């Protein structure tokens, strides 16, 4: 089934770490009055779940089995997105440095990707049916999860800009953050292509834009893409 059926507005946004995908996507979804899905949070949630249960992240089959069944619930209101497993709110726990350091081991597990991509498509279809559309962001949304999205965007920013943004957030030095951002992108690139735009994907370079400028730039691409639809 095509996600973009029935006049629903499906906006797919990919890009490397620290380009502003999550913050900009939330603002864009809010402005458009549609749902928001942070797919990176799903890989983080599975990482947290496996560590919490003592599952070795290098045991690929065991982690992929958990991906199929773990009780994940993603809240898709862009004004207040939530991440829960069972009745436990793990929105803050999945942002800790230990989860950030381990998440690539989970995200590069192809058995995991198969399960989470299935869940992402189901969620996107449900949220879009409920709200008229969805903005989904990650690393493979424009290419694998929703290649037929109404609008497909690759958000980029120079390495310097991305490191400075992350360093500001983590209150760490640019040098310490460089390793985290660049190394994680290198590891994640093994299974998803998000450093260059695929055919038909519009690049939005946020290097020299402030936050509001990035939101406006994405909304302009959405407007143009809707017009073509
Ligand atoms: N021009 C800009 N556009 C977007 N975000 C910006 C901009 N300038 C600074 N930021 C800030 O950069 C930080 C990183 O943004 P965000 O978490 O949305 O990135 P991301 O691409 O989703 O990263 P990751 O994939 O690692 O989760 C946020 O604190 C955001 O407010
Ligand atoms: N569609 C996606 C989304 C995310 N990932 C990976 C990349 C990161 O290492 C991790 C967490 O993502 P973030 O919260 O930093 O955006 O998940 C992926 O492989 N595919």
Q: If we measure between CA atoms, which residue out of 214, 102, 94, 100 comes closest to residue 166?
A: 100
Q: If you measure from the C-alpha of residue 167 to the centroid of ligand 1, how many angstroms do you get, rounded to a whole number?
A: 11
To test ligand 2's pocket by mutation, which of 21, 36, 39 has the most ligand atoms within 8 angstroms of CB? 39
Ranges of residues in the chain whose predicted pLDDT is under 70? 1, 4-5, 170-172, 174, 229
Compute φ and ψ for 207, nearest 5 degrees. Answer: -50, -45
Asked whether residue 3 is domain-assigned, the answer is no
Asked whether residue 4 is domain-assigned, the answer is no
Q: What is the pLDDT of residue 164?
A: 87
pLDDT tens-digit readout, 162-177: 988 887 776 667 677 8
Q: What is the pLDDT of residue 40?
A: 98
Nearest C-alpha to atom 4 of ligand 2 is from which residue? 40
Q: What is the CATH number of the domain that holds 97?
A: 3.40.50.300
Q: If you measure from the C-alpha of residue 23 to the centroid of ligand 1, how many angstroms do you get, rounded to a whole number?
A: 6
Asked whether residue 158 is domain-assigned, the answer is yes
Range of the domain at 25: 9-228
What's this model's pTM, rounded to 2 decimal places? 0.96
Q: What is the pLDDT of residue 172?
A: 66
Does the ipTM exceed 0.90?
A: yes
Residue 117 Cβ inside 6 Å of ligand 2? The answer reads: no
pLDDT tens-digit readout, 83-132: 999 999 999 999 998 999 999 999 999 999 999 999 999 999 999 999 99
Residue 203 Cβ inside 6 Å of ligand 1? The answer reads: no
Q: If you measure from the C-alpha of residue 227 to the centroid of ligand 2, how many angstroms do you get, rounded to a whole number?
A: 30
Whole-number Cα distances in Å, 192 to 20, 95, 138, 222: 18, 21, 10, 23
Asked whether residue 85 is domain-assigned, the answer is yes
Asked whether residue 99 is domain-assigned, the answer is yes
Asked whether residue 200 is domain-assigned, the answer is yes
Q: What is the pLDDT of residue 167?
A: 77
Token code pair at residue 208: 């020299």
Q: If you measure from the C-alpha of residue 153 to the centroid of ligand 2, how many angstroms do you get, rounded to a whole number?
A: 16
Q: What is the pLDDT of residue 119?
A: 98
Residue 207 Cβ inside 6 Å of ligand 1? The answer reads: no
Asked whether residue 27 is domain-assigned, the answer is yes
How many domains are contained in the chain? 1
Asked whether residue 194 is domain-assigned, the answer is yes
């Amino acid at each position: 089934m095509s996600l973009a059926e029935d006049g629903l507005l499906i906006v797919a946004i990919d890009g490397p770490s620290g380009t502003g995908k999550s913050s900009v996507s939330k603002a864009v979804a809010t402005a458009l009055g549609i749902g928001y899905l942070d797919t990176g949070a799903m890989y983080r949630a599975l990482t947290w779940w496996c560590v919490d249960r003592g599952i070795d992240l290098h045991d690929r089959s065991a982690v992929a089995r958990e991906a199929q069944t773990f009780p994940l619930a993603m809240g898709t209101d862009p004004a207040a997105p939530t991440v829960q497993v069972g009745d436990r709110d793990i929105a803050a726990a999945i942002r800790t440095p230990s989860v950030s350091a381990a998440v690539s081991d989970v995200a590069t597990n192809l058995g995991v990707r198969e399960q989470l991509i299935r869940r992402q498509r189901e969620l996107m279809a449900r949220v879009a049916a409920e709200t008229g559309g969805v903005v989904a962001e990650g690393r493979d949304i424009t290419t694998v999860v929703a290649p037929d999205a109404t609008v497909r965007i690759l958000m980029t920013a120079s390495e310097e800009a991305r490191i400075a943004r992350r360093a500001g957030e983590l209150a760490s030095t640019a040098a310490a953050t460089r390793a985290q951002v660049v190394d994680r992108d290198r590891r994640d690139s093994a299974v998803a292509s998000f450093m260059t735009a695929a055919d038909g994907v519009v690049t939005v370079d946020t290097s020299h834009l402030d936050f509001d400028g990035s939101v406006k730039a994405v909304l302009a691409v959405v407007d143009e893409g809707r017009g073509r639809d």
